[in-house]
Amino acid sequence: MIHDQIISDLTEIIGNNDISKNVYETFSFAQKTIQNKDVILETNPSIDQEWNNKMANTILGGMCFRKDKTGQLYLSFGKKYLDTYAKNSSIHYTILMHEFKHLNDYFDNKNSFFDLNWRKIFQLQYELNAIKIESEFIKYYLVGNIHISKCENYILESYEKDNLESWTIYNRKESADIYNFFMNMKLEFEQNKILKKQLEKSLMEKADKLLEKKNLFMNLFDVSNNNGNNFSRYGHFIRLKTYEKYLRYIIFEKFKMKETLFEDQNFSIMYRIISDLLEKHDHANLIYSSGLDNYWENDFIE
């Protein structure tokens, strides 16, 4: 089967080279689980309409790691991913390494990896883990050995220059920087390193900084008249949207706090301002975002 050939070709690339311990151990563990039949390789599964379309029509979204209702684990290969594979196609290996990392993370977090409540908070962390593996794989195993795509160049540049901020905004539609901010606040609060008042102060300061960019958010006119600066403006919107998302998931839900419970009444005002801004600009940014979805696809096919 073609997916067996892809894994075999990836084995040739990595071999016994442990220049990146993270990549080497991720690959070796995944290889072992496949050999032991802990994970089944499958082609063109029927998952749901969204995933079916994605796997049939894209390369970048052409694989997934999943568990069915019986608890069986699968590495799923989509039609376009398989149909476009060639031994010199670096992106196919990079995508495979991404899913291998998800497989690793599952076995480290069996009770929570697929749990919907936990994934609200940790899904982006799992994605960041996988993208970091991609980046190290590109840097240490592909560069200088095989021609890499423009997309992989972009991922590597984002990894080295902005800690994956630009790539997560583009690809995940979330901000790695804002997510890491909330995870740090979560950890400090749970470990009693900061009190509720200090948490509130940090949240307000971060919100104030994000709101300084509110006049740069795109509207529908901006989307239809691209001035070349729209991605930067889109990034400002995504950072505020990420802030609001994890404010709800971590502070309001996990810590059982509501905006009305904070001592500073300005917090409630701030939260309403953020909600109104996101609602006002959401449609324009959604249209812009949909235009990014398949931006790299033609680059993958030589």
pLDDT attached to residue 15? 93
Q: What H or E segment, with its residue span, contains residue 117?
A: helix 116-137
What SS3 string covers 28-58? HHHHHHHHCCCEEEEECCCCCHHHHHHHHHC
The structure tokens 């309409």 sit at 49
Q: Could you identify the residue written with the tokens 């409630």? A: 268
Give the pLDDT score at 108: 96
Residue 291 burial class via C-beta count within 10 angstroms: exposed 0-12, middle 13-18, buried 19 and up = exposed
Decide: 162 and 210 in contact? Cβ < 8 Å: no
Predicted pLDDT of residue 95? 97
Contacts by 154-158, CB closer than 8 A, 24 or more apart: 155/94, 155/131
Give the total residue count for the chain: 302
Q: CA 231: distance to chain centroid?
A: 17
CB atoms within 10 A of CB 36: 8
Q: Mean pLDDT for each 10-residue chunk of the chain (302 residues)?
A: 92 95 97 96 87 86 92 94 94 97 96 89 96 98 95 97 97 97 94 89 94 94 82 97 94 67 71 94 95 83 58
The pLDDT of residue 268 is 80
User: Strand, coil or helix: what is 129?
Assistant: helix
